[in-house]
């Protein structure tokens, strides 16, 4: 691969065998982390046409979703250019064609696009303000009509996510909790209002 190569990680999902090549210094290079595993097994969205994996790392979430939804156009972004390199390589290695990978700090390189589904395994150590703005508020602005933001966080952030959603009047639902991680589904103000009025 290259001078950063560490190992290959095998992962089975819905009868498909994936192999992810990982490089030193990237997130979760020992094995696919528990957060990613619970996350991809929890996401339940009907036929999204456009998907964004934000903070994609070496690409497992975006690649698995691209394989699950072969008619969707999938974008993977990360601020770490080494992660972008490995994500692109892993997409090719796993035979996934409906995917594009670019470097982007937050949403800055995709502000001209909207998505049906935005997903992220949120980094826990970047601080509450960065999580709120970069991984909740900003992505919700890029959702199309009826679009959904799905995130997985370490349980220590369970205090933050509902608080942010209440402050911005977002619809927030806890989907699943396991092994120190929680999956949330979040929708924007307009969708939240229509959901409340129909209840």
Domain that residue 178 falls in: 34-198
Question: 11 in a domain, yes or no?
Answer: no
**120: CATH:** 3.40.50.150
User: How many residues belong to the chain?
Assistant: 199
Q: What pTM does this model have?
A: 0.93
Q: What is the total count of domains within the chain? A: 1
What's the pLDDT at 29?
A: 67
pLDDT digits (tens, 9 = 90+) for 16-47: 999 999 988 876 666 899 999 999 999 999 99
Query: Regarding beta strands 99-103 and 73-78, do their DSSP bridges make them parallel or antiparallel, or are they unpaired?
Result: parallel
> pLDDT below 70 — which residues of the chain?
27-30, 189-199
Confirm whether 87 is domain-assigned: yes
C-beta atoms surrounding 29 within 10 Å:
17
Q: How many Cα atoms sit within 13 Å of 84 on the Cβ side?
A: 13
Q: Is residue 38 part of a domain?
A: yes
d(CA 68, CA 95): 13
| CB atoms near residue 45 (< 10 Å) | 17
Position 3 scores a pLDDT of 87
* Tokens coding 51: 């998907």
Establish if 19 belongs to a structural domain: no
| Residues 195/157, Cβ–Cβ less than 8 Å | no
């Amino acid at each position: 691969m290259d001078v950063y190569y560490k190992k290959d990680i095998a992962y089975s999902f819905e009868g498909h065998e994936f192999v992810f090549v990982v490089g030193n210094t990237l997130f979760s290079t020992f094995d696919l982390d528990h957060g990613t595993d619970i996350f991809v097994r929890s996401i339940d969205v009907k036929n999204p046409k456009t998907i964004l994996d934000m903070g994609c790392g070496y690409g497992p979430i975006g690649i698995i979703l691209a394989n699950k939804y072969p008619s969707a156009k999938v974008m993977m972004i990360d601020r770490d250019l080494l992660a972008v390199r490995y994500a692109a390589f892993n997409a090719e290695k796993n035979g996934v064609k409906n995917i594009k990978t670019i470097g982007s700090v937050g949403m800055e390189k995709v502000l001209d696009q909207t998505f049906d589904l935005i997903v992220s395994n949120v980094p826990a150590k970047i601080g509450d303000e960065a999580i709120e703005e970069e991984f909740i508020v900003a992505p919700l602005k890029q959702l199309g009509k009826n679009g959904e933001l799905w995130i997985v966080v370490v349980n220590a952030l369970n205090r933050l996510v509902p608080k942010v959603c209440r402050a911005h009047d977002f619809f927030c639902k806890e989907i699943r909790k396991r092994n120190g991680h929680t999956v949330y589904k979040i929708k924007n103000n307009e969708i939240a209002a229509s959901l409340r009025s129909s209840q």
